[in-house]
């Protein structure tokens, strides 16, 4: 990025993915950051407290801050969301994932501010319409839970807008894993759960398959290491701020490896990263998620490559090994 003093707003900054984005930006010499989130959670404090930034702003005060500030924002990265897929009250998701996001979009339109925002692969539902980041299928998608519905409703609203920020992208995150998810509990990645179960019991229990097309543990997901994700967000932000991002590149993009892998492979890699012999068994999937469970996801990554991103991604094995040895085993944050 030509100007290391560029002012960049990052929402959700106390959370898993955003805090990793902040660290990566710091590593590139970008410290003029404005962090937005609800900062009252003590369990999230290690994610952001030691980062370099100019200011932290409470999520509920953000728009009043925008009205009062004279600071020109060079790019807004909106990753803050309600991400709990087991929360079935749609109104909770709608408030933050749709209405709040619409307000951010409108601010960026009015102030000609480049915008990068988080969508989700949860929008694809069972994958009846495939996993292509093609705007033409967004209206047809049938997400399986209120979280996915809220993300898809915002995507639908976005592509219907005649007025847009000068540069913008929506990013459909697939199964992201990596450091700084200690606070997520039930919603943390399978690797995090596996590491803790193996540490305590010497074994890992995976969900049985309740779909005859998939064997136990062979449910397939596109697992994507957060260190690859943050490089993509930095690249997009840099292109937008340096005016290299052309209008034809605006749109919604998948963020995954492009290769589905099984939960069994994921857990094998976790055991290997811990230097422990595998010991895997299977348990019934909880009733509350059984009929809303994705058995296969795989990102079509052609669009991102055609936009110009050329870096290779971690393999499942190399990403899990880095996460387990470098962070979980050391109880370390990124």
| Catalytic option among 52, 156, 184, 303 | 184
| Catalytic option among 124, 131, 147, 327 | 147
Nearest CA among 65, 46, 54, 2 for reference residue 26: 54
Q: Is 214 exposed, middle or buried (0-12, 13-18, 19+ CB in 10 A)?
A: middle
Q: What is the DSSP string of 119-135?
A: EEGGGGTT-TT-S---G
For residue 8, the 8-state DSSP code is E
How many H-runs (helices) and E-runs (strands) does the chain carry?
A: 12, 13
Q: Is 205 exposed, middle or buried (0-12, 13-18, 19+ CB in 10 A)?
A: middle
> Does the annotation count 124 as an active-site position?
no
| Owner of token pair 């997009």 | 236
Backbone angles phi, psi at 14, to 5 degrees: -85, -10
Q: Enter the tokens of residue 134.
A: 């093609």
> Does the annotation count 147 as an active-site position?
yes
For residue 282, the 8-state DSSP code is E
> Which active-site residues does the annotation give?
147, 184
């Amino acid at each position: 990025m030509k100007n290391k003093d560029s002012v960049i707003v990052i929402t959700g900054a106390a959370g898993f993915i955003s805090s990793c984005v902040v660290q990566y930006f710091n590593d590139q010499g970008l410290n003029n950051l404005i962090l937005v989130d609800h900062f009252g959670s003590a369990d999230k404090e290690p994610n952001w407290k030691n980062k370099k930034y100019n200011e932290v702003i409470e999520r509920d005060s953000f728009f009043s801050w925008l009205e009062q500030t004279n600071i020109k924002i060079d790019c807004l990265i909106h990753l803050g969301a309600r991400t709990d897929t087991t929360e079935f009250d749609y109104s909770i998701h709608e408030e933050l994932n749709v209405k709040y996001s619409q307000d951010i979009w409108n601010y960026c339109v009015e102030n000609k501010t480049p915008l990068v925002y988080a969508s989700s692969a949860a929008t694809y539902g069972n994958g009846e319409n495939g996993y292509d980041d093609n705007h033409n299928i967004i209206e047809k998608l049938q997400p399986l839970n209120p979280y996915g519905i809220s993300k898809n409703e915002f995507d639908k609203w976005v592509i219907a807008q005649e007025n847009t920020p000068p540069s913008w992208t929506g990013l459909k995150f697939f199964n992201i894993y990596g450091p700084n998810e200690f606070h997520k509990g039930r919603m943390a990645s399978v690797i995090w759960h596996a590491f803790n179960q193996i540490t305590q019991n010497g074994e890992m229990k995976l969900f049985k398959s309740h779909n005859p097309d998939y064997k136990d543990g062979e449910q397939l997901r596109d697992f994507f290491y957060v260190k690859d994700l943050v490089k993509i967000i930095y690249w997009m932000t840099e292109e937008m701020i340096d005016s290299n991002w052309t209008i034809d590149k605006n749109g919604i993009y998948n963020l995954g490896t492009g290769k589905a892998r099984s939960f069994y492979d994921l857990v094998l890699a976790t055991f290997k990263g811990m230097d422990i012999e595998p010991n895997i068994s299977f348990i019934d999937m909880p009733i509350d998620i059984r009929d809303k469970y994705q058995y296969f996801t795989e990102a079509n990554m052609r669009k991102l490559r055609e936009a110009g991103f050329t870096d290779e991604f971690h393999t499942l094995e190399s990403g899990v090994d880095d996460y387990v040895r470098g962070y979980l085993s050391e109880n370390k944050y990124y």
